[in-house]
Each structure stands twice: as C-alpha cells, then as structure tokens.
Amino acid sequence: SYKPNIAFYEAHGLKGWQALEKTIAYLNEKCPDHFTIADAKRGDIGNTSSRYAKAFFEELNFDSITVAPYMGKDSIEPFLEYENKHTILLALTSNVGAFDYQTKMIGDQMLYQKVIDISKEWKNSRNLMYVIGATKAEYLADVRKIIPDSFLLVPGVGAQGGSLEKVCEFGMNDQVGLLVNSSRGILYASNGRDFAEAAAKKARELHVQMKKILINY
Amino acid sequence: SYKPNIAFYEAHGLKGWQALEKTIAYLNEKCPDHFTIADAKRGDIGNTSSRYAKAFFEELNFDSITVAPYMGKDSIEPFLEYENKHTILLALTSNVGAFDYQTKMIGDQMLYQKVIDISKEWKNSRNLMYVIGATKAEYLADVRKIIPDSFLLVPGVGAQGGSLEKVCEFGMNDQVGLLVNSSRGILYASNGRDFAEAAAKKARELHVQMKKILINY
C-alpha cells in the first residue's frame, strides 16, 4: 500500500500538486493492485466534502482518503457514496494531541469510541475504515469490541515508536484486518545519496517482522 | 473579507490549484487590506500541519486558515507559530452533523466548549479565532463566557438559514468580535448571466442589514 501525505505536496504550491498527480498516476499504472491512500484528513459540510471526494476519488483516482470526524455525518457521507472506494475515519490518532479530546469520556465511552460507534449508522458505512494509532496499541482491544470486522489503518510504527507485536496482539481479527503503516521510519532512513537503498532496507525489515507474526497467526 | 473554499478548487485538479493561486494573488494585489481566509479545514500531526501552514501562509499568502481540532494541540500549534496570521479553529459548526459529536457532554461541558477551553492553553493562542455556526446563535452566549474577547467566524447566514440579528444579539462583544459569513446566499444568487450583479445585490443587502445593527450598537 502507498500513502502519499498531501500536505508535503501542497507546501510546494502548483508544482506540488503537479507532483501529486504524477505520483498517483505512476502508482496506478505501475502497481494497479496496490491500495492507495490519500492522507489528506479532509472533512467539511456536505456540499464541500462532495468536492473533496471528487478531487481524490475521481480526479486523482486514489482508492481511499483519510477524513476527520469532527463535523459529523453529513461531512463524511459524500465520501461513502463512492463504491469501491474507502473512507478512513480518524478515530484514535498516534500523536500526543490525541489525548486533548479523543480520549475524553462522553457518558461511558471515550470520544474516539463514540466516533466509531455513531459512524456505523451512516449510509454506506461498510466503506469505512478507521485510523487507530500504533502508539496506543492497548486501546485496540476496545476498538475490536465495537468494530470486530472493520479494516484499521495503524500509523505510528517506526518514527513514532509504536510496537508491531502489540498492534497485532490486540488488533488482528480473523481476516487480519490491519494495515500497519511506517512512514518516516522508512522515508527518512537515510539523508544521504543512499536514501532509496536505505528506505528499501527498512521496508524489507518491517516486511520480515510482519511475515514472522503472520506465520504464527 | 474573502473566504475561498479550497475544495472547489481541488476538485479541478492542477487547473484548480492554478485558479486558487490566481485568486489569492488577485485578492492580495487588488484588496490588500481585506482579510483573506483559506477555508481548508486542515489538521494533522505536527510535522504535517507545519507543511499545510507553509502552503497556505507562505506559498499562497492567506491571512488565515480554518482548521479542525480533532487531533489536538500539536496539530494546531504549527499554524499558530506564524505571527500576523490567524488560525480559525472549528468549534461549533453550522451543519446538522455538528450534533453528532460537538454538542455531546464531556463532564459539565459540551465537546465544542471543551475544544475552545483547552485551546486557550496552546502556545500563541492569541492567534486563534473560532468557527461558531450562525444556525446555533443561542450557543453564542455560552461561547462568550469562555472567550469574551476572541474573534469569531460565523458561517450559516443565508443558504443555511441562520439569523444575523440573533448572531449579533448573542455574539457581539465591545469590539464587535464577529466575522459573519454568507457564501452560497451570495455566490448562488443567480444561475443566469446576471450572476455577478445578483451576487453584488445580495452582498449589498447583507451589508445594509449589518450596518443597521451596528448603528444601534
């Protein structure tokens, strides 16, 4: 799977957007079977979200996009209308700020659990996936009580220090159900001219770790 | 003030981004004293948010940007680092989905109140403004208890049905402290060839309404 981070393209203005179009066109041509994720964290009122959906699902032809839940149902449903596309809802993120709001109690649930729970009622919610940070692996057991079958995108292994073993222990279901992501751990493996080889090495290492766990599974 | 909605540009891909660059360059040249808002609803972990901040504050040179609070402190502080730029935090939005999470009780506060309350502690929080939807004007009295002096961006007058009078009644402070926004009510005033005149007429009508209220203020 490939997960371009849209901010790093936008920061370069028009040239950045051009590079983004080239990147996704290249991925869709060279690796048509690989799942692509626009890491964009979008979300707005309905008529606006439908434009973001068009941008990433039609114009750029990504398989999925990350979205923020704060504005609720009508901010996400326009993304869910697309068949064969996945909308990846932020639930429990891997950063420190996650504790500002996401883990606050609303009745007997934390906000992130409420986010997941309510989202199950949205139209075409079968197209939803969820972000659960690897840095909070123990929470995955609670997540699996609410959505045993959903696919989870798990960032935070690598630079952010999350443990792959713990993520698998608490988060796997009988379809595996996990897409574990290391970004900076691979991308920034080397600042030298050997950056590509160093990144490939890091990716292979993680691949081997994953394989070991899956064999015992 | 001008508030381009970024989604409507992104939906056109590279051409859209080009149009966005032209739009903001035109505004900055022709109306340098007008406050510009990138309505982008961005927000991500720190190193990514710093790239979005660069895109909108440096590359495009907007005066402000709307951001989503879900990922907490480190997702917003990179925007706040910019002096003379404003970061407009979603608090209580004008759409129906606002009731999904934003008005849920956390202890003795609703989530949107908690969002505002906690954000006051962030570094450079003086650069924050807040989105409070006009469709929920009565809530503005509670908002003013938490942030009496902050500037509020109030969308939802016009197409979404919010009342200008009520917004002013509950939300004004002794600096006025309100930036009331009508988008579709003005932009979509006519689908015919007279769209520009019709939009100007709607904008003037709203301007007159605002003036009347401010005279009595």
CB contact under 8 A, B7 and A106: no
Mind telling me how many Å the CA of B130 is from chain A's nearest CA? 14
Asked whether residue A104 is domain-assigned, the answer is: yes
Distance of CA A214 to CAs A138, A157, A203, Å?
Answer: 19, 17, 16
Asked whether residue A205 is domain-assigned, the answer is: no
Kindly state the DSSP code that residue B2 receives in the 8-state scheme. Answer: B
**What distance in Å separates the CA atoms of residue B65 and residue B42, rounded to the nearest whole number?**
8
| pLDDT tens, position by position, B159-207 | 788 899 999 999 999 999 999 998 888 999 999 999 999 999 999 999 9
The one catalytic residue in A3, A15, A22, A41 is: A41
Q: Secondary structure of A106-126 in the HEC alphabet?
A: ECCEEHHHHHHHHHCCCCCHH
Domains: count for chain B = 1
For helices B46-53 and B73-80, give the axis angle rounded to 10 degrees: 30
**Contact residues, chain B, for A12 at CB < 8 Å:** 55, 59
Asked whether residue B199 is domain-assigned, the answer is: no
Asked whether residue B60 is domain-assigned, the answer is: yes
In this structure, are residues A65 and A57 in contact, taking their beta carbons and an 8 Å threshold?
yes
Asked whether residue B217 is domain-assigned, the answer is: no
Asked whether residue A206 is domain-assigned, the answer is: no
The CATH number for B133's domain is 3.20.20.70
| pLDDT tens, position by position, A67-125 | 999 999 999 999 999 999 999 999 999 999 999 999 999 999 999 999 999 999 999 99
Distance of CA A103 to CAs A107, A190, B104, B117, Å?
Answer: 12, 35, 14, 16
Mind telling me how many Å the CA of B163 is from chain A's nearest CA? 19
Indicate if the pLDDT at residue A159 is higher than 80. no
Among B59, B65, B70, B108, most A C-beta atoms within 10 A, so best to mutate, is B70
In this structure, are residues B182 and B38 in contact, taking their beta carbons and an 8 Å threshold?
no
Which ipTM did the prediction report?
A: 0.95
Asked whether residue A99 is domain-assigned, the answer is: yes
Asked whether residue A83 is domain-assigned, the answer is: yes
The residue segments making up the domain with residue A176 are 6-182
**Contact residues, chain B, for A17 at CB < 8 Å:** 13-14, 17
